[in-house]
Structure 1
Amino acid sequence: MTTAATVPSRQEVALADTWDATKVFASDAEWEQALDAYAQSIADIEQYQGRLAEGPATLLAALNYSDQLNERVGKLYIYASLFYSVDTTDQVAKAKMDRVLGVYSRTMASSAFIEPEIIAIGFATLKQWQAENADLARYGQYFHDVERRQAHVRSAEVEQVLGLVSDAFDSASSTHRILTDADLAYPAAHSTNGLELELTQGTIGLLVTDPDREVRRTAFENYSDAHLANKNTMANCLATCVKQHVFNARVRNYSSALAAALGENNIPTDVFHQLVATVRKNYPTWHRYWRLRRQALGYDQLHVYDIKAPLTTKKLEIPYTEAVDWIITGMQPLGEGYTSVAKRGLLEDRWVDIYPNKGKSAGAFSSGWKGTPPYILMNYNNDIFGMSTLAHELGHSMHSYLTWQNQPTIYSNYGLFVAEVASNFNQALVRNHLFNTNQDPDFQIALIEEAMSNFHRYFFIMPILAQFELEIHERGQRGEPLTAATLNGIMFDLFREGYGEEVVPDADRMGITWATFSGHMYANFYVYQYATGIAAAHALAEGVLAGKPDAQANYLAFLSAGSSLAPLDALKLAGVDMTSAEPVEAAFRVLASYVDRLEQLLGNQ
């Protein structure tokens, strides 16, 4: 266990509380041997260049070898990342990451001929070959996707260049990440009685939920100010990334960076614009919540650092093992096959790196590759927010686990559009279980606060970041400069609209929010999918909890589909149509119901 006041070094963390990298490679020496062997085998894919039209056997051999390379390089990357993510000051781990990214770039370049040659074969011929060769037929969805994207696939020479620059194009995001996770110094937060509380990427979430307003204020301001002190460097990194996205869109003949990002995942741009419009229309629900929160806290004004202030004096202490018990019980509607694997991963197989330490990456995430465990990075702080985050990341990990168990390598990844559904689905089921089993008013209030905090991040912050992302890419397409002042101004204006009159404006600290989401802002048009994900998740959870016929089976089929189906089709299989605004509207009704319930609970106190 760790507290906000004392954050251990990586060397001080108990082995049992860390993830087990030996399940990928037994040692660094084994990883080195595998990397060397892999590097020597990359060029072997080139033996198939210019030959894919020879027939189904040659095409199948090339695709199988490409899949093998993909699986091998993925394991090499995951092993390196397991050490770097938990200590971004570890230069040996950073060097491993750089080496893997280098060979991955070479892999993309060496295999760049495959899709142009598939297009040249012709899709009528490919259908005939699939009919003749059952092994080749399993690539049918992949061929269909290439056919859909063929206007955006370039010649083998251009594709090779794009593969070669992938490593260099990662430099902007990696520079920002190193700055925030390894080099940025955060002044300590302070309590009302003068106690210093160490502020790190791993403790900021705990500090901004502290009942002491001075702790919250100093944590929020010091965290924001540390980013503001480096705003020009960070702005240059983000502006560079935007230029790269615009460059890629133009090279691939897309009308915009948005069209390129969504087109790769087969998502119509109307889905993005419909989401933003629906969220903005429902801002009054948020305004009502913040007004209720201000009144409950007894404040004349509500600041950003008050948005997660606890509304009860009874703090919930939730040790990691108890959080696991709650989560596994909450996930029972998915059956023993799901929960037994999940429980073993969380408690026995060391999927999770549990607690904060100095130099550890911010927040939480799920990672892994076909052939590895689905690892989870946490900064667990023994509270209800950490419990919910663990449920969220477990959703990702079980999605990956079931995909890897049921799909070949070619379909072993899944689109970002569906990724956030499984994670938010878990939170919805666990929350439902806890609402139904603990009627203590303080517990119910704390649970609503957790739910509203989660919705605030995914159904308010993320859509605002999505609007910000669209604006800066449109400016980048017009060749307009993206300075720190420009980025901060755009960000602040969007927050001022979203918060309305209910939250005190802080132009500088609201404006720098984009820099505090470094991993998200560099993942091209990723953030809007948090909002579509939470909407789809609640729609599907409602069906499973209500016992609708086939709801559970269809949801598990969705988790097992990987990329063997287009994202929208996979969600339709599960039972929700995300081309409609209705799931987003329905999620806002869930949000409003939480506000209703909170109002009643506070009124009864």
Structure 2
Amino acid sequence: MSLTHLPARADVDPRHTWNAESVFATVEEWAAELAALAPEVEGLSRFQGHLADGPAVLAEAMQSLETLSQRVEKALIHALLTESVDRGNQASTARAGQAGSLYGQMQGAVAFLEPELLAIGRERLAEWTATEPRLAHLAHYFDNLFRRQAHVRSPEVEEVLGLAADAFGGSQSTFSKLTDTDFKFRPVTAVGPDGDELAVGQGTVDDLLHSADRAVRRAAWESYHDQYLAYRNTLAANLATSIKQNVLVSRVRRYESTLDMALFTDNIPPAVYHNLLDTFKRHRSVWHRYFDVRRRALGVETLHTYDIWAPLTAEQPRIPYEQGVEWVAAALSPLGEEYAGRLRRGCVDERWIDVYPNEGKSAGAFSWGCQGTYPFIVMSYSDDAISLGTLAHELGHSMHSLLTWENQPKVYADYTMFAAEVASNFNQAMLRAYLLPRDLGPRDEARQLKIAVLEEAMANFHRYFLEMPTLALFELEMHRREERGEGLTADDMIAYLADLFAETYGDAAAVDRERDGIRWATFGHLYADYYVFQYATGISGANALARRVLSGGPDAAEDYLGFLRAGSSRYPLEALRAAGVDLTQPAPVEAAFETLGDLIDQLDTLLNE
């Protein structure tokens, strides 16, 4: 994909676009469904006040709720995915707003559910699940509901919180619109006889930071972050609003803190969060080793942040999308041909993936869908090892979703963020384990591929095991300041994150206090409160489970597949223990740092051959 021009959405080959017509054949069909859903959402009120009438009535209500919520989700997914690949399309934006509004109405319409279930009581619900077959699968759901009982408020309060869901999503929507659509980055002028201007955008900045030309990397880094700095106050106020909303909800629900609320939802002890951050602080020196290897390989006196993604060899292997799919499928073959075959068909035949960048496409990559759709992926593939790793990562999410949807009823047909990042990083760990021992091609080409795979691994670990724990420290402090009523300003946010990066980099790399400090504004993840730490626990659990599967234990693969199939039918820590890893202990995080150290050693050896 040329960096000098991004194609318009209409010019993208349909073969490389997500299969929107498999969800709704036409926009008119989507609109008809949305119109039909509105009165049905209102009709849910017929169950309000009647859930205690008996097990048959409750079973009918639960089935109606599940069926309707799935239809609303399909409408929302179609609208938001359509918008995400072409944010400049105003008609798509309008449809996304309509679907989001309907989703908010649905949340408000079902607000009576949990207060009425709690009023029925644990003992009666246990009797009903034993006598009414249509309620039997809800035993875990009811147990979890009563675990959360102290934080479920009155029907009126729950209705308000449900109706507020759409409005409270405004901060994230504003962030996305501002940074994906309205931001105009100054271009980079390439060094050379033609002096080409290279477009800086959400879909190209990563490629520019991977440039072999240090001047291009630096200019791209500065252009990108200077645009965020120009809007520092707006972005800070927007994030602060999101944090204030989180604080408000935690107080309405009577939690001691926002952290307690975020972790309690998934039954995760706060010690898991603090274990991660404490272990990260103790092992920062591992990163100093890597920065030294990278500095020597690049031949620079001082390593800057914009050097962290620079290629370490003159020739970078080209990995076409089709080749990438085959390697990922082969790497996952220890999980069985059914898993690998489903993955391959999804990529090639069923068009799960919106593959390449285009104008107005969202930054980054994500997987999303629901029961009744494919597990779609939006990304910007660039025929390199980084894109290959991203492909494997998102396919981990998609296969997790697919196996959950096929094996769980609607009430358990999702999974926590905590579990999600295990599945995605597992695929990447398996891909490296497949590629690194093999000589794929002549000696020099094989060496270059291995270095590229290790560079992808280091980029992945850098994001998950350096940036995300650092952001987790930042996020915790910002929430605490707001909880103490101190208020948040752009300058304070920038200064605090710059201090954190300075502690992490030590003397091994230089910190650009303004541009490194504004990096919180480049991560939309912070609008999902206390999400970022789960990337680090996820990569820890993933590498532990990959080692177990690759060791060839008789039950390892099936245990892992059982974790994928579990969805939310079990608490995430329980499901992971059953698969073979205990993330309540620091040991998996310690082991992940050992894996990181081994990857650094392999890279250093290959670079010195």
- Say if 2:295 is the partner of 1:286: no
For 1:452, the equivalent position in structure 2 comes to: 458
> 1:402 & 1:417 partners in 2: Cα distance?
17
Q: Secondary structure at the match of 1:366?
A: strand
- The separation in 1 between residues aligned to 2:453 and 2:356, in whole angstroms, is 22
Do the aligned residues in 2 keep the contact of 1:46 with 1:110 (CA within 8 Å)?
A: yes
Q: CA deviation at 1:579?
A: 0.3
Deviation for aligned residue 1:314: 1.6
CA distance in 2, matches of 1:488, 1:599: 34
Q: Is the 8 A contact 2:235 2:521 kept in 1?
A: yes
Aligned to 2:597: 592
Residues 318-333 of structure 1: matches in 2 within 5 Å? 318-333=319-334
Whether the 8 Å contact between 2:76 and 2:96 is mirrored in structure 1 is yes
For residues 119-198 of structure 1, the aligned pairs below 5 Å read 119-193=118-192, 194-198=195-199
Cα distance in 2 between the residues matched to 1:130 and 1:33: 37
Whole-Å separation in 2 of the counterparts to 1:189 and 1:57: 66
- Partner secondary structure for residue 367 of structure 2: strand
Partner of 1:107: 106
- Residue 203 of structure 2: SS of its match in structure 1? coil
Q: Please tell me the residue identity of whatever aligns with 1:137.
A: A
1:511 matches 2:517 = yes
After the TM superposition, which residues 3-22 of structure 1 pair with which residues of structure 2 at under 5 Å, given as runs? Answer: 3-22=2-21
Out of 243-252 and 264-273, give the one that drifted further: 264-273
Amino acid aligned to 2:122:
F
* Equivalent residue number for residue 414 of structure 2: 413
Q: Distance in 1 between matches of 2:36 and 2:447?
A: 60
Secondary structure at the counterpart of residue 414 of structure 2: coil
Map residues 182-331 of structure 1 onto 2, 5 A cutoff.
182-193=181-192, 194-331=195-332
Runs of 4+ in 1 over 3 A off after TM superposition: none
Aligned residues of 2:549 and 2:556 also touching (Cα < 8 A):
yes
What SS does structure 2 have at the residue aligned with 1:274?
Answer: helix
Number of the residue aligned with 2:560: 555
**Aligned AA (1:96):** R
State the Cα distance separating 1:5 from its structure 2 match. 2.0
The alignment-based identity, stated in percent, is 49
Whole-angstrom CA distance in 2 between matches of 1:316 and 1:423: 23
1:105–1:167 Cα contact (<8 Å) kept: yes
**2: CA distance between counterparts of 1:158 and 1:447?**
51
In structure 2, distance between residues paired with 1:500 and 1:79: 46
- Displacement of 1:114 after TM fit? 0.7
Amino acid at match of 2:400: H
The CA deviation string for residues 267-320 of structure 1, in whole angstroms up to 9 with x for no partner, is: 111100110010111100000110111112111100000011111112111111
Corresponding residue of 2:28: 29
Q: Quick one: distance in 2 between partners of 1:70 and 1:500? A: 50
CA distance in 1, matches of 2:608, 2:288: 19
- 1:190 touches 1:214 (CA, 8 Å); kept in 2? no
467, 471, 476: which one aligns with 1:465: 471
The 1-side partners of 2:452 and 2:384 are apart by 10
2:463 & 2:4 partners in 1: Cα distance? 25
For residue 497 of structure 1, what is the aligned residue in structure 2?
Answer: 503
Alpha-carbon distance in 2 for matches of 1:125, 1:362: 49
Question: Is 1:574 the equivalent of 2:575?
Answer: no
Aligned to 2:348: 347
SS in 2 for 1:450: helix
Question: CA shift at 1:195, angstroms?
Answer: 2.7
Q: 1:376 Cα shift?
A: 0.5
- Of the structure 1 ranges 27-36 and 594-603, higher mean CA displacement relative to structure 2 is found in 594-603
Please state if 1:395 is matched with 2:401: no
One-letter amino acid of the counterpart of residue 360, structure 2: G
The separation in 2 between residues aligned to 1:164 and 1:462, in whole angstroms, is 31
CA-to-partner distance for each residue in 1:413-460, whole Å, 9 max, x for gaps? 101100011100000111111012127322222211110010000010
Contact 1:89 1:359 survives alignment (8 Å): yes
Match of residue 524, structure 1, among 529, 545, 553:
529
Q: 1 CA distance for matches of 2:485 and 2:216?
A: 42
Give the superposition deviation at 1:237.
0.5
Q: Distance in 1 between matches of 2:81 and 2:174?
A: 19
Please name the residue that 1:39 is paired with.
38
- Partners of 1:266 and 1:416 lie apart in 2 by 12
Secondary structure of residue in 2 paired with 1:165: helix
Alpha-carbon contact 1:302-1:502 (below 8 Å) kept: yes
Say if 2:317 and 2:448, in contact at 8 Å, map to a contact too: no
- 2:606 is aligned with 1:601: yes
State the partner residue of 2:62: 63
Distance 2:330 2:36 in 1: 45
Q: Distance in 2 between matches of 1:552 and 1:358?
A: 41
**Could you tell me how far apart the structure 2 residues matched to 1:490 and 1:203 are?**
28
RMSD of equivalent CA atoms: 1.0
Residues 327-349 of structure 1 show CA distances to partners (whole Å, capped at 9, x for unaligned) of 11111111111011111110111
| TM-score under structure 1 length normalisation | 0.98
- Aligned counterparts, 1:61-100, within 5 A: 61-100=60-99
Deviation at 1:373, TM superposition (A): 0.6
In the aligned structure 1, how far is the partner of 2:494 from the partner of 2:67? 45
Shift of 1:46: 1.2
Q: In 1, are the aligned partners of 2:573 and 2:583 still within 8 Å (CA)?
A: yes
Q: CA deviation at 1:486?
A: 1.2
TM-score (norm 2): 0.98
Q: In structure 2, what is the Cα distance between the partners aligned to 1:74 and 1:210?
A: 40
What amino acid sits opposite 2:396 in the alignment? G
For the residue of structure 2 that corresponds to 1:436, the secondary structure is coil
Q: CA deviation at 1:166?
A: 0.9
8 Å Cα contact 2:266/2:572 also seen in 1? yes
Tell me how many residue pairs correspond in the alignment: 602
For residues 471 and 480 of structure 1, the distance between their equivalents in structure 2, rounded to whole angstroms, comes to 11
Shift, 1:531, TM fit: 0.4
The aligned amino acid for 2:385 is I
Residue 188 of structure 1 contacts residue 196 of structure 1 at CA under 8 Å; is this kept in 2? yes
Task: Choose 481-490 or 239-248, whichever is displaced more.
Answer: 481-490
The amino acid across from 1:256 in the alignment is S
Cα distance between partner residues in 1 of 2:19 and 2:454:
34
Specify the code of the residue in structure 2 equivalent to 1:188. Answer: P
Please list every run of 5 or more consecutive structure 1 residues that lacks an aligned counterpart in the other structure: none
Give the deviation of 1:582 after TM superposition: 0.4
- Unpaired segments ≥5 residues, structure 2: none
Counterpart amino acid of 1:301? Answer: T
* Partner secondary structure for residue 305 of structure 1: helix
Give, in whole Å, the separation in 2 of the partners of 1:192 and 1:503: 25
Task: Please give the alpha-carbon distance, in whole angstroms, between the structure 1 residues aligned to 2:450 and 2:340.
Answer: 25
For residues 479 and 173 of structure 1, the distance between their equivalents in structure 2, rounded to whole angstroms, comes to 22
Match of 2:570 in 1: 565
Instruction: Report the AA paired with residue 452 of structure 2.
Output: A
What secondary structure sits across from 2:436 in the alignment?
A: helix
CA-to-partner distance for each residue in 1:144-178, whole Å, 9 max, x for gaps?
11011000000101000001111111111111110
Whole-angstrom distance in 2 between the partners of 1:572 and 1:70:
31
Distance 1:571 1:70 in 2: 28
